[in-house]
Amino acid sequence: MTKPAPLLLPNPDDPRLTQAVTGLDQTGARVEIRVPVERALTLYLNAQEIVTMMTINDYPEYLALGYLLNQNMLKPDDVVTGVDYDDDLEVVVVRTERGTNFEQKLKKKTLTSGCAQGTAFGDLMEAVEDAVLPQAELRTSWLYEMTHAVNTTPSLYLAAGAIHGCVLCVKGEPICYMEDVGRHNAVDKIAGWMYRNAIDPADKIFYTTGRLTSEMVIKTVRMGIPILVSRSGFTAWGVELAREVGLTLVGRAKGKRFIALAGEERIVFDQDLAFVPEESLRARRKGGDDA
């Protein structure tokens, strides 16, 4: 029997993740708000320095593993012997049983449309060309339950803004909700969490507050998840790739509305829209940064 996935939700009260700053509002009055704290995190794979990322750094081990997995630098059959994080040095080291050398790959990066430090290797497509995604299904009742749960869960975005969120769901229930200053970081942290906890992706739904780009499609397929949902819009290449690999791609999911542009055959329309509330103003603002 497969053990149930551990629940992991945001902790907006963590004092390490935000700091108070003062300024003036539109009336000239002095105000104090909380803003997310960015920190540098340098990732090593064995003895090779890979990348320095700007992150809120709440789950450095998951971020490191997920980054390597989604960049196709860590293979499914690689044995990870250790993940060591040093808070003072702001360094995380992933060690594997067999040696790796990515010096040539590191010379041929392709800039993607991900925000912040969003890069992918020139051969990132090799891991998705032969991908076969599970059949699965997306009931519209799950979709509305999921978006409501995401919009009402206490989060760093609601506390401080300027953050992206990614959520792994079973049916309409979030089981892992990650946030970061760059949505690719939030995706990678979920990938690392799935890897560490041996989570089966076959029946999962992936939700993101960011737009549905080629990078988001590739990373979702890399994780083996068959359904990708966003409150934001699409890019043409993101749609094209989703159709090629058979990924269900649903965007502009706000209130009663959504648009599916790929993998529509997985969708089961079981929800009576008369019982779905329109999205509140506060919810519409959640995850509104489309970059």
- Residue-wise pLDDT for 6-52, tens only, equals 789 999 999 999 999 999 999 999 999 999 999 999 999 999 999 99
To the nearest whole percent, how much of the chain has pLDDT over 70?
85
Looking at every residue in the chain, the average pLDDT score rounds to: 88
Q: Residue range 262-288: average pLDDT?
A: 79
Distance, in Å, from the CA atom of 255 to the CA atom of 94, rounded to the nearest integer, reads 41
pLDDT of 280: 65
pLDDT of 127: 65
Bridge-based pairing of strands 267-268 and 138-139 is parallel
To the nearest whole percent, how much of the chain has pLDDT over 90?
74
Per-residue pLDDT band at 124 (split at 50, 70, 90): low
Question: 3-state class of 9 per DSSP?
Answer: coil
**Residue ranges of domains in the chain, CATH in brackets:** 138-285 (3.40.140.10)
Per-residue pLDDT band at 282 (split at 50, 70, 90): low
Asked if residue 289 has pLDDT above 50, the reply is no
- Residue-wise pLDDT for 144-184, tens only, equals 999 999 999 999 988 888 899 999 999 999 999 999 998 89
**Cβ-proximal residues to 93 (8 Å cutoff; 6+ apart), any chain:** 43, 44, 45, 46, 82, 83, 84, 85
Higher pLDDT, 291 or 4: 4
pLDDT of 5: 65
- Residue-wise pLDDT for 199-254, tens only, equals 999 999 999 999 999 999 999 999 999 999 999 999 999 999 999 999 999 999 99
Residue 49: how many other CB atoms lie within 10 Å: 12
Asked if residue 279 has pLDDT above 60, the reply is yes
Q: What pairs with residue 19 in β-bridges?
A: 35
Question: 3-state class of 123 per DSSP?
Answer: coil
What tokens does 235 get?
Answer: 């890019």
pTM of the model: 0.88
